[in-house]
Amino acid sequence: MALDIITTIDETRRRLDEARSDGLRVGFVPTMGFLHDGHASLMRAAAGDNDVVMASIFVNPLQFAEEEDLDDYPRDLEADAVLAEESGVDILCVPDVEEMYPGGPVLTTVSVEEISSRWEGATRPTHFAGVATVVTKLFNIAGPSRAYFGEKDFQQLAVIRRMVADLSIPVEVIGCPIVREQDGLAMSSRNSYLDPEQRAAAPVLRRALGAGLAAIDHGATDPVAVVRVMTGFIKEEPLVELDYAAAVDAATLETPDQLTGEIRLMIAAQVGRPRLIDNVGATITPTS
């Protein structure tokens, strides 16, 4: 099936409702465009699990603070359409701001308390309300479906999962593994902002996470000690300014007294213009 590019909500909804009425399963991959292999991995997963795949491209103004890069966010619809079609997408929904928010300033927002207040939420206090609002709207457009998100934005994934559970939204949220460059840097559209020196420095985030995992493998269960190891790695790289490093419970994103069970190491740093995030998971089995 050739890729169809649709710009309206009504037509997207009609096509997906028609597919479901024919007994077909719908997969959905929401994106902000400037697609890379990480997005392609989500689209391929959706194509493997479902009969019809819809991806959306919408640079959502609600999740950008005034000083952030909304106007300069990279865009390349022609290349995005090629990658989407090659990755198994059937429908590419590309609404503009007026189509998504026809009434002007948005008066209704969705906020997921507690889980969105720390880490990324502490640095970007309006971000997750913008994400939750637009994803709720996109889920209402897509209808009952499976939705695919990358684990690179792990806190975002946790926020969306809680939102879907709290609001009984008929969407199954599926997290997919981080896709990395050969040197370990997590793929991100914002990597295009890095100059050559910054690009060479950026993989220190993944190395710092690896050092935290190594400390855990050697028996460390004190989150403060694990964070200290990760922080030390970042401080050795002068082009990288650490925002936070954290060792948290994977479900609540809270810092426990001792690391046990499913945990997540998370890191965020400024590398020149872009702010980059990364994370890795681990399972710590309590010793008797």
Segment holding 22, helix H or strand E: none
Superfamily of domain 189-282: Pantoate-beta-alanine ligase, C-terminal domain (3.30.1300.10)
Question: What is the CATH code for 4-176?
Answer: 3.40.50.620
Instruction: For 66-135, give the DSSP string.
Output: TTSSTTT----HHHHHHHHHHTT-SEEE---HHHHSTTSS-------TTTTTSTHHHHSTTHHHHHHHHH
What does the alpha-carbon distance between residue 262 and residue 253 come to, in Å, rounded to a whole number? Answer: 11
pLDDT of residue 66: 74
Once rounded to an integer, what is the mean pLDDT over residues 264-273?
Answer: 96
Q: Residue 242 and residue 224: Cα distance in Å, rounded?
A: 16
What is the rounded average pLDDT of the residues 157-165? 97
pLDDT at residue 71, rounded to an integer: 78
User: Nearest CA to 73 among 191, 183, 166, 152?
Assistant: 191
Q: Is-catalytic flag, 39?
A: yes
Work out the mean pLDDT of the chain and round it to a whole number. Answer: 94
**pLDDT the model gives residue 201:** 97
Q: What's the pLDDT tens digit per position in 83-102? A: 999 999 999 999 999 999 99
User: What is the model's pLDDT at position 97?
Assistant: 93
Q: What is the mean pLDDT of residues 234-257?
A: 95
- 57 and 74 Cβ atoms separated by less than 8 Å: no
Q: Provide, rounded to the nearest whole percent, the portion of the chain with pLDDT above 70.
A: 98
Bridge partners for 275 per DSSP = 270
Q: Where are the domains of the chain?
A: 4-176, 189-282
Own/partner pairs, 69-72, CB within 8 angstroms, 24+ separation: 69/190, 69/273
Instruction: Return d(Cα 97, Cα 251) in angstroms, integer.
Output: 33
Q: Which member of 36, 39, 127, 218 is catalytic?
A: 39
